[in-house]
Amino acid sequence: MKNAEGEDGDAFLERLFRMLNDAGTALMLSVGGRVGHFDAMDGQAAMTSSDLAARAQLDERYVREWLGVMATGRIVTYNRDAKTYQLPAHRADFLTTRAGLANLTLQANYLSLLGQVEDPIVDAFRNGGGLSYAYFPRFHELMAAESGAVHDATLLDVTLPLVPGLVDQLTHGIDVADVGCGSGHAINLMAGRFPTSRFLGIDMSDEAISVGRDEARSLGLTNAKFDRADAARARL
């Protein structure tokens, strides 16, 4: 019997299976992005699993299984006779480092991150309480990779000019705080562009703050500072 959306049990079951299949493919997109498979296949002729393993210096057995998932998920094409795989350009445009903001393997990384905290989340459903950022390994690294690409593409020339007069104020020199600055790339970008303003990045994570400090140091910025503080408790 169909429900109000015109869906019966069979159609729902098919949709569920598709979800589960796609979820498996998404996890392998995350793995492929991290080990560099998409970059290694980008713009290349069709290759065997041994070719890709040699190019990426990875274990061929694992590479073959990964390629199997990518072929069945219609991410790469497969030539049965030659046993070769190829990444079409129109898909590489959304899976590679060169894709920048459009690289959706970065989003897939968050799915595997969530999988890693399933046990404590189940526990929290039963017992309440919350999970601190420390439970999410690689959170700051992923956040920095994703938001860094956005900041690089838009912060200085698209986002800041949206606030009337802000670029003029930054040019003349003001004090700026970014509360929850993460790894601080936004602070460092602005500090580089507006040397007469002073920038303070605040975050509760030591790990994130130290990345921001290192970047400021490597860029020779003297107008960017970082403080580790919990904004919910500290008097800023």
Ligand X SMILES: C[S@@+](CC[C@H](N)C(=O)[O-])C[C@H]1O[C@@H](n2cnc3c(N)ncnc32)[C@H](O)[C@@H]1O
Contact residues: ligand X, CB under 6 A: 133, 143-144, 147, 180-182, 186, 202-205, 208, 230-232
Q: Cβ of residue 18: shortest distance to ligand X, in angstroms?
A: 30
In terms of Cα–Cα distance, which of 56, 88, 94, 60 is closest to 74?
88
In the bound state with ligand X, the residue whose beta carbon lies nearer, of 186 and 224, is 186
Based on CB atoms, which residue is closest to ligand X, 21 or 132? 132
Smallest distance from ligand X to CB 206, Å: 10
Measured between alpha carbons, how far is 202 from 214 in angstroms, rounded to an integer?
15
Report helix angle 118-127 to 105-116, nearest 10.
50
Residue whose CB is less far from ligand X, 16 or 234: 234
Distance in Å, CB of 110 to ligand X, minimum? 11
Judging by beta carbons within 10 Å of its beta carbon (0-12, 13-18, 19+), is residue 63 exposed, middle or buried? Answer: buried
Using Cβ positions, the residue closest to ligand X within the complex turns out to be 182
> Which is closer to ligand X, CB of 27 or CB of 204?
204
For residue 43, the 8-state DSSP code is T
Minimum Å gap between C-beta 34 and ligand X is: 19
Q: Do β-strands 224-228 and 198-203 pair in parallel, antiparallel, or remain unpaired?
A: parallel
